[in-house]
Amino acid sequence: MRMLVTLSLCLLLAGAASSRAGMQSAREQEIQAAFLVKFVSYVNWPSGTFADANDPVVIGIFGGDPFGSTIDRIARSHVANGRHVLVRRCLALDQPCACNLLFILPIAMPQMDALLAGVKGRPVLLVGNAPGFLEKGGMINFVKAGSKIRFEINKTAVDKTGLIISSKLLKVAQSIR
């Protein structure tokens, strides 16, 4: 129940913060960073994903870094299913980013096929914020609904990886495909 209340609070803040028309504000980026960190609490990875009980859940960011130190600060104070959360910046396709959640910026959309090939067969949650992201194989996509930041889920893509998204997260998604 506490997680659902926290996620609902994030959604409420997302609506308030995104009321400034048209542009991606620093506050909107902060809210997306908070969502990314909270998402890992609502996902179960298949057994064997983590080599050790103390391994962190790793969030990778590919295609730049709109969050700066904000996401690191949020991640430092968060524990997801008994695991600390670590953030990595993934700089190039030829240098694999070992992560459990990969946030793909819109600028990296032309590389989506290569990114999908790089994580094929691995339980990596792919999150983005670009039109057509789910159709290209993404799993969670941020969207603006009026003045609010919401997200949609491609459950078919998620199911293919062996990941299990909590029903609590599914309930607050704007849409599920």
Enclosing domain of residue 10: 2-176
DSSP 45: P
Whole-number pLDDT of residue 91: 86
Tokens encoding 25: 């504000």
**Percentage of residues in the chain with pLDDT exceeding 70?**
85
Q: pLDDT digit string (tens) for 13-57?
A: 344 333 333 346 888 899 999 999 999 999 999 999 999 999 999
Whole-number pLDDT of residue 137: 96
Ramachandran assignment for 146, one of left (phi > 0), alpha (psi -120 to 50 degrees), beta (any other): left
State the CATH number of the domain containing residue 13.
3.40.50.2300
Whole-number pLDDT of residue 24: 64
Q: pLDDT digit string (tens) for 81-109?
A: 999 999 999 988 776 679 999 999 999 99
CA distance 94 to 52: 26
CB 73 within 8 A of CB 87: no
Q: Which residue has better confidence, 4 or 125?
A: 125
Q: Which residue has better confidence, 136 or 9?
A: 136
Backbone angles phi, psi at 131, to 5 degrees: -60, 135
Whole-number pLDDT of residue 147: 81
Cβ atoms within 10 Å, residue 63? 20
Share the mean pLDDT of the chain: 87
Q: pLDDT digit string (tens) for 126-165?
A: 999 999 999 999 999 999 988 889 999 999 999 999 999 9
Strands (E) in the chain, as ranges, are 43-44, 57-62, 79-80, 83-90, 101-104, 125-128, 140-145, 148-153, 164-165, 175-176
Q: Per the structure, how many domains does the chain have? A: 1
